Amino acid sequence: MNYVFDFSVLLGNFGPLVEGLKTTFLLALGANALGLTLGFLVCLLAMAPLWILRLPAKMFIEFFRCTPVLIQIVWFFYCVPIIFNVFLDPITMGVMALGLNLIAFNAEAYRAGIQAVPKEHHDACVALGLGSWHKTIYVIFPQALRNAVPVLMTNGITILQQSALVAIVAVADLMYAGKMLATDTYRPLEVFTAVAVIYFLMSLPISQVVTYLERRQDASVER
């Protein structure tokens, strides 16, 4: 028997998906805010000359890059409250769990961006008498950010898609709403197809911007 798709089941049931989409946006925006800001700080610590600063930062980066995101989310939701007696609302917990992962990946993106800054620019800062703080903020960071933007945006897309994993710990995001709707309507193929299309429509514009920026960078290098 051939399965017949019936997307009419979604016509009166978009409310839960819209609410789940709002939560997904909050998770993605919060995680990206953490990743973009603290990622640069962790990058600087990982590149610090003092091992007491460098070693913990590198261990943090390697841990979150080398363990599955799903395990990180489950551990954060179930172990942190038990070990540290900290109880936060599910969205805040989701933002922190996803944000920690993104911080590690963005730190590596920033590191590559910093290493791409020409050595002459570092020498110019010394010649101008700029201190380490002013050199980092006004010379290194703007160039590192420009170099790292395509990777940072790609990481942002990835974390948007990985936010669906919080459904496993019952955070009411888009994926969780889709799972509940599929259970209620007995039409999982239609519901999860719609959910996949929504994730695709959110990710595609950002992906196109990344492609455009990469082409611009390649063109500037060729010039």
pLDDT at 1: 57
Average pLDDT over residues 111-139: 84
Q: Is the pLDDT of residue 223 over 80?
A: no
pLDDT at 111: 93
Q: How many residues does the chain have?
A: 223
Q: How far apart are CA 38 and CA 175, in angstroms?
A: 27
Q: How far apart are CA 105 and CA 65, in angstroms?
A: 7
% residues pLDDT > 90 (the chain): 60
Name residue 169's amino acid.
V
HEC letters along 177-194: HHHHHHHHHCCHHHHHHH
Average pLDDT over residues 161-181: 94
pLDDT at 63: 95
pLDDT tens per residue across span 1-20: 577 888 888 888 888 899 99
Q: What is the value of pTM for the model shown?
A: 0.89
pLDDT at 159: 95
Q: State the distance between the two ends of the chain, measured CA to CA, in whole angstroms.
A: 60
Average pLDDT over residues 154-173: 94
Average pLDDT over residues 99-115: 94
Q: Which two tokens stand for residue 19?
A: 């609410």
pLDDT at 118: 83
From residue 31, give the alpha-carbon distance in Å to each of 26, 59, 121, 210: 8, 20, 32, 19
pLDDT tens per residue across span 48-79: 999 999 999 999 999 999 999 999 999 999 98
pLDDT tens per residue across span 27-46: 999 999 999 999 999 999 99
pLDDT averaged over the chain? 89
Q: Is the pLDDT of residue 80 over 60?
A: yes
pLDDT grade for 120, boundaries at 50, 70 and 90: confident
Return the axis-axis angle of helices 174-185 and 14-46, rounded to nearest 10°.
150
Task: With beta carbons less than 8 A apart as the criterion, state whether 56 and 103 touch.
Answer: no
Q: Is the pLDDT of residue 178 over 70?
A: yes
pLDDT at 129: 82
Give the torsion sign (CA, 96, 97, 102, 103): positive
